Amino acid sequence: MALREFSDSRGRLWRVWEVRAPEAAPVGGGAGQLRVRGEYQAGWLAFECEAIAARRRLVPIPEGWADGSEEQLRRWCADARRLTPRSRLIE
Q: What pTM value is reported for the model? A: 0.78
| 78-90 residue pLDDT tens | 999 999 876 555 5
CB atoms within 10 A of CB 75: 13
d(CA 54, CA 48): 6
d(CA 68, CA 87): 27
Q: Sorting pLDDT into bands at 50, 70 and 90, what band is 15?
A: very high
- Please provide the DSSP assignment of 6-64 as one string: EE-TTS-EEEEEEE--TT-EETT--TTS-EE-GGGGG-EEEEEEGGGTEEEEESSPPTT
